[in-house]
Amino acid sequence: MANANPELLKWLNECLARGHSAENLSRSALASGWHADVVRVTVAEALGEQLVAERPGAPVSRSGNLPEPELDRSANYVDTPDRRVAVWSVMQHPRVVVFGNVLSEGECDELIALAQPKLARSLTVDNRTGGDEVNSARTSDGMFFNRGENPLCERIERRLAALVRWPYENGEGLQVLRYRHGAQYVPHHDYFDPAQPGTPRILARGGQRVGTIVMYLKAPEQGGATTFPDVGFEVAPVKGSAVFFSYARPHPDTRTLHGGAPVLAGEKYVATKWLREREFV
């Protein structure tokens, strides 16, 4: 396999940081005379991916720099230290894996009960100022636990760390959201926009977000799917199941735009785990 070229890699990293898409940069590099194999390998390195074969269209093996479950043997389940988790759906780009049986019914109910007293109008981090604000794009109510705040949170967080092979310490504390009738979360990206002035302050606590796990604690009777509009994919909110997705860089070409569709009947509760590049402090 060709090696990544340091000069090309430096240029790619600079352009990616300025917001150019990998597709356009590959085209420019080819037009400038770089060999196709060198471009492919170097772009993959810049995106934090690792190619395993030279065949055009060969599968991309995800290396240790992104959260990723162990699915190499087309596993239908993943064993974590305390629970066997089912693999329900797998998508390559965006990288999305839907898991069943991540939490027991009792764990879902207990987490809701622990969150209940602290549920208030949802806050999202304001990436213009780095502070909290009420966000009209999210009409749910929410609260955050600290990482390891109680034995249930710690058990679930250690299970998730094993599930996607990402350090426990790199996880933010669990967030619990309650969506009442009509509530929704309009499509957004979970990474922090590098162009916003408040982002450096947020990144100081552990770098970028590189992955998300949304666990369904209570299923509404109708509506409330987690949607991925770029690829027309929807995940039904089934109690105890979860959707995981990862993003190698903070850019829409990761196709990780996602939202919570309006709840049309009943009530929906989720717990979200965000995964950072480094230890979250």
Interacting span for ligand PD2 (CB under 6 A) from 18-26, 43-51, 160-168, 255-263: 255-263
Q: Confirm or reject binding of residue 214 to ligand PD2 (CB under 6 A).
A: yes
- 67 in contact with ligand PD2 (CB under 6 A): no
Q: In terms of CB distance, is 43 or 270 closer to ligand PD2?
A: 270
Place of tokens 């027991």: 104
214 binds, among ligand PD2, Zn ion, none (CB under 5 to 8 A by kind): ligand PD2
Q: How far is the CB of 124 from ligand PD2 (least distance, A)?
A: 9
Binding of residue 272 to ligand PD2 (CB under 6 A): yes
Q: How far is the CB of 235 from ligand PD2 (least distance, A)?
A: 8
Residue 267 tokens read as: 């009530």
Tell me: does residue 202 bind ligand PD2 (CB under 6 A): no
Residue 170 binding ligand PD2, by CB under 6 A: no
Q: How far is the CB of 256 from ligand PD2 (least distance, A)?
A: 10
3-state secondary structure of 162: helix
Report what 270 binds from ligand PD2, Zn ion, none; CB cut-off 5-8 Å by kind. ligand PD2
Distance of CA 274 to the CA centre of its chain: 7
Alpha helix positions (H), 223-279: none
Q: Does the CA dihedral 78-82-83-84 come out positive or negative? A: positive
Residue whose CB is less far from ligand PD2, 212 or 246: 212
- Toward ligand PD2, which CB reaches closer, 30 or 266? 266
DSSP strands (E only) in the chain: 50-51, 60-61, 77-80, 83-91, 95-100, 120-121, 123-125, 132-134, 141-144, 175-179, 185-188, 209-218, 222-223, 226-228, 233-235, 242-246, 258-260, 263-265, 268-276
With 0-12 / 13-18 / 19 or more C-beta atoms within 10 angstroms meaning exposed / middle / buried, residue 75 is: middle
- Return the range that interacts with ligand PD2 (CB under 6 A); candidates 55-63, 68-76, 101-109, 258-266: 258-266
Question: Residue 190, interface with Zn ion (CB under 5 A)?
Answer: yes
When the beta carbons of 141 and 190 are compared against Zn ion, the nearer one is 190
Kindly report the backbone phi and psi dihedral angles of residue 265, in degrees, each rounded to the nearest multiple of 5, phi listed first. -155, 140
Is residue 185 part of the contact set for ligand PD2 (CB under 6 A)? yes
CA distance 255 to 240: 25
What does 240 bind: Zn ion, ligand PD2, none (CB cut-off 5 to 8 Å by kind)? none
Q: Smallest Cα–Cα separation from 217: which of 133, 103, 96?
A: 103
Angle between helices 36-46 and 22-31 (to 10 degrees): 150
124 binds ligand PD2 (CB under 6 A): no
Contact positions vs Zn ion (CB under 5 A): 190
Contact positions vs ligand PD2 (CB under 6 A): 177, 185, 190, 212, 214, 226, 258-260, 270, 272
